[in-house]
A and B are shown apart, each in its own frame.
Chain A
Amino acid sequence: GNSVTQMEGPVTLSEEAFLTINCTYTATGYPSLFWYVQYPGEGLQLLLKATKADDKGSNKGFEATYRKETTSFHLEKGSVQVSDSAVYFCALSDQTGNQFYFGTGTSLTVIP
């Protein structure tokens, strides 16, 4: 069946460090892939998405590329800020749009 596996946290980085959060998926067909972010006490909000192979999603300095050959959608940012401290979720929507799968979430803390 479909699933999403993401890197376990928590992750602690110093400000301006490079961030990678790994995400791999299992799916049939052509799913859409998403990264959502959850700030403390809030609901999830979309960070970026990619809907077909080789697409790169980007937003607020974050990037992720939909790699079908490695079934991956790793999240990267070149220089993190304290305000990036949050929980990040990798998610998959199957090609029918009828099933949605989220990873377990990776907590990121950025220290000054």
Chain B
Amino acid sequence: DSGVTQTPKHLITATGQRVTLRCSPRSGDLSVYWYQQSLDQGLQFLIQYYNGEERAKGNILERFSAQQFPDLHSELNLSSLELGDSALYFCASSARGGAQETQYFGPGTRLLVL
């Protein structure tokens, strides 16, 4: 158990809809990362937050957004969903978001868009 929790575990929705994925980092970790894992694109970095502020952006679509709240939990919002958004979404956390730090991954949220 990494100490990172993600809810829900599974989500089934329809095209055009909007969903919110939630992540709670390990106790004491200030930085949160979001990743998308799909069969055709592998594991892709989406976005990183540190202590409530956006720190880095990867391949995140404009339809997607995220935030980190004062209690350090984070939410990833996916809107105008398309079939291709079906994937496993991972959250990870680290102490301060440094380049050399280990990231601790949650179990993921599996999203299926029908």
B107 interfacial by beta-carbon distance below 8 Å: yes
B contact residues around A105 at 8 Å (CB): 42-43
Nearest chain B residue, comparing its CB with the CB of A104: B42
Task: Tell me which residues from 72 to 112 in chain A have a Cβ below 8 Å from any Cβ of chain B.
Answer: 89, 93-105
| Interface size of B in residues (CB-CB distance below 8 Å) | 26
A17 interfacial by beta-carbon distance below 8 Å: no
- B58 and A100 contact, CB distance less than 8 A: yes
B contact residues around A93 at 8 Å (CB): 99-100
What is the CA–CA distance of A93 and B108 in the complex, to the nearest angstrom? 21
| Contact indicator per residue, chain B 67-94, by CB within 8 Å of chain A (1) or not (0) | 0000000000000000000000010100
- A94 and B43 contact, CB distance less than 8 A: no
What is the CA–CA distance of A49 and B103 in the complex, to the nearest angstrom? 11
- A96 and B99 contact, CB distance less than 8 A: yes
Task: Tell me which residues from 3 to 41 in chain A have a Cβ below 8 Å from any Cβ of chain B.
Answer: 31-32, 34, 36, 41
| Interface size of A in residues (CB-CB distance below 8 Å) | 26
A contact residues around B108 at 8 Å (CB): 43
- B97 and A97 contact, CB distance less than 8 A: yes
What is the CA–CA distance of A41 and B90 in the complex, to the nearest angstrom? 12
Taking Cβ atoms with an 8 Å cutoff, the residues of B that contact A are: 2, 4, 33, 35, 42-45, 48, 55-56, 58, 90, 92, 97-108
